[in-house]
Amino acid sequence: MSRKGNCWDNAPMESFWGKIKQEWLNEQHFHTRSEAVSAVFEYIWIFYNRKRIHEANGYLTPEEYYRQHETDLKAA
């Protein structure tokens, strides 16, 4: 986290919310808060973690990346 007033404080979260709006919630209208929560949950836990590849992870999904490096993570 950088100091107060630096423009990159919220950059990772702003990027994430921009992606979720563009990739998943584009032009959807929800009748209840529960529907919106379900859509966000589905994006994060099903699409983002299991299907969406990430350049920073060597073009693997977060789940694949975690499985490949699970032993390294446990040792740390």
Confidence of residue 3 (pLDDT cuts 50, 70, 90): low
What radius of gyration, in Å, describes the C-alpha atoms of the chain?
A: 16
Cα separations (Å) of 36 from 28, 39, 61, 67, 74?
9, 5, 24, 30, 35
**Model pLDDT, residue 56:** 84
Q: Which residue shows structure tokens 């699970």? A: 70
**Model pLDDT, residue 35:** 94
φ, ψ for residue 46, nearest 5 deg: -105, -55
**Model pLDDT, residue 26:** 86
Determine the average pLDDT of the residues in 52-73. Answer: 86
Share of the chain above pLDDT 70, in %: 87
Q: Show me where the domains of the chain are located.
A: 30-76
54, 64 contact by CB (below 8 A): no
Q: How far apart are CA 58 and CA 65, in angstroms?
A: 8
63, 50 contact by CB (below 8 A): yes
- Residue range 39-59, pLDDT digits in tens: 999 988 988 888 888 888 889
